[in-house]
Amino acid sequence: MARDRTKGRKGRVVDYVRLTHPFDPQRVFSDDYIAAMHEAALGVLARDGMKVLLPEARDLLARAGARVVDDMVHFGADLVAEALRTAPRHWVLRAANPERQRLYAPGQLLFSPGSGCPNATDAVRGRRPGSLRDFTETLALQQSFDVIHMLGPSAEPQDVPPALRHYAMMQAQLTRADKPMFVYARGRAQVAESFEMIRLALNLSEADWATGVWASTVINTNSPRQIDVPMAQGIIDFARAGQMSIITPFCLAGAMAPVTVAGALVLQHAEALAGITLAQVARPGAPVSYGGFSSNVDMKSGAPAFGTPAHLQMQIGSGQLARHIGMPWRSASGAASNSADMQAAQETVMSLWGALMAQATLVIHAAGWLEGGLSFGYEKFVNDVEALQTLAEICAPPPATPDDLALEAIADVAPGGHFFATAHTMARYDTAFYPPLVADLTNFGTWTEAGSQSSTTRATAIWQRVLAEFQPPPHGAEAADRLASYIAARTAAGGAAPVD
């Protein structure tokens, strides 16, 4: 089903699910300077410390050897080193569909959609606050393209009361999709219930649950140097449950972080190490991912910028820091543009390539992100999927057998002739090239006769078709049955507050 979304011709099968990086990771800093940045981050953690707002987290860290003064936690280098020793280097992201499960490890390449957007926008209905309908539709879009490897909360379902929202989000993920899932760290009760819904809907034994990561969350530190209550709870609860938290300082250079690329990364690194350490103290060996989503602010407006030179340099520097400590890590692409235009495409494609140069394990916000995350754009999503499929295609090298040199065909075609009808072409023509999803390669006359539609306009028909043809995965009906009474009972009891 999903593979047909590439308009794949009969017989052309390219694996967009299991991607490994095609390029060597690159550097913007010398190895010595990276080592100095790591040492500098350790110095920040020991000397300046992190403000940790959750007493339980401070107690855990204190018992592990941290120096705690009021709500400030000072991490010694030994404590961080021990955390980096117990943190695993790879794990499996499980999914309802075993074919969707992925290894999360350095060198692997995963894409997840634009996430966390309060608004949704498309050319038909305009921009509106996210609703459950938008959440469900965007989930169907994610599910329909193989190159989206993990689910994400693209549009916030603001029409569902906060205490019930996690039921709706888990129900949709568990019944209408079959890829690795996302769970918000919004209070201990919501997290525990979300885990419970996964086990229930997928009928997982304790042993099944322990085979890998069934739920992932993103932990944003409150840069600079602060971890708030829900985030600290999330780190602890995901670690204890063996689920993945992705520690992601959002260090905007010039605002919540130093104005230099190096300084912003030192702060990011210190905060990420603090979160990783808390996870390992909560449960040694817990799957916790390094994360970096640092960029610069626009100097005129103070707004976050994406796809900029500083963003790319921070991506590549983050990759160097992650490799320095040997961990898988997440980066992010994204767009500040307010519409699905050339700026939006450039920002996203630039930052996708930044993530490739940085050899990020996971690229979040890889499709659909607009307005620096304030809107999820349907047409932007379709165009971004084209970019992701292009990158997925080059993850596999071109065929390289003696036959691929085409020496007979070259000898057979006369000078100035053409290869259309050669046996070499005929045997491969149908499967040789990537068939575009939204790109229109017809000539100007044909394109004009067809209405002079831009790629943004053409994308509308594509997401409409995908939604019209969408079929939930086979396990969905049974999962819905399993969840129904649980959600009904919990809803009747008033749900669970998103903060404690």
Q: Which is nearer to its own copies, 37 or 332 (CB)?
A: 37
Contact flag: residue 6 with its own copies (CB under 8 A)? no
Q: List Cβ neighbours of 485 (8 Å cut-off, separation of 6 or more).
A: none
Cβ count within 10 A of residue 306: 25
Contact flag: residue 17 with its own copies (CB under 8 A)? no
Contact flag: residue 139 with its own copies (CB under 8 A)? no
- Beta strands in 396-460, from DSSP E residues, in sequence order: none
Q: What is the DSSP letter of 474?
A: T
Type and span of the H or E element at 332: strand 329-332
Enumerate residues 93-112 that contact its own copies by CB under 8 A: none
Determine the interface stretch with its own copies among 148-156, 159-167, 255-263, 361-369 (rule: CB under 8 A): 255-263
Q: Are 83 and 281 in contact (CB under 8 A)?
A: yes
Size of the site for its own copies (CB under 8 A): 127
User: Cis omega (within 30 of 0) on the bond before 224?
Assistant: yes
Contact flag: residue 260 with its own copies (CB under 8 A)? yes
Residue written as tokens 């404690």?
A: 500
Would you state the structure tokens that stand for residue 166, as one six-digit string? 């996690």
Enumerate residues 307-336 that contact its own copies by CB under 8 A: 307-310, 312-313, 317, 336
For its own copies, the binding residue among 97, 158, 339, 491 (CB under 8 A) is 339
The residues pairing with 51 across neighbouring beta strands, listed in sequence order, are 72, 226
The residues pairing with 363 across neighbouring beta strands, listed in sequence order, are 111, 331
Would you state the structure tokens that stand for residue 127, as one six-digit string? 């921009």
**Between 274 and 303, how does the x/- string for binding to its own copies read (CB under 8 A)?**
----------------------xxxxxx-x
Determine the interface stretch with its own copies among 144-152, 172-180, 434-442, 464-472 (rule: CB under 8 A): 434-442
Closest CA to 361 of 25, 115, 2: 25
Contact flag: residue 470 with its own copies (CB under 8 A)? no
The angle formed by the CA atoms of residues 431, 383 and 336, to the nearest 5 degrees, is 150
Q: Which is nearer to its own copies, 20 or 203 (CB)?
A: 20
Task: Report the half-sphere exposure of 463 (CA within 13 A, side-chain side).
Answer: 28
Determine the interface stretch with its own copies among 152-160, 256-264, 464-472, 487-495 (rule: CB under 8 A): 256-264
Enumerate residues 142-181 that contact its own copies by CB under 8 A: none
**Between 393 and 412, how does the x/- string for binding to its own copies read (CB under 8 A)?**
xx--xxxx-x-xxxx-xxx-
For its own copies, the binding residue among 60, 109, 191, 344 (CB under 8 A) is 344
Q: Are 94 and 212 in contact (CB under 8 A)?
A: yes
Q: State the minimum distance, in angstroms, from the CB of residue 158 to its own copies.
A: 16
Determine the interface stretch with its own copies among 54-62, 74-82, 153-161, 440-448 (rule: CB under 8 A): 440-448
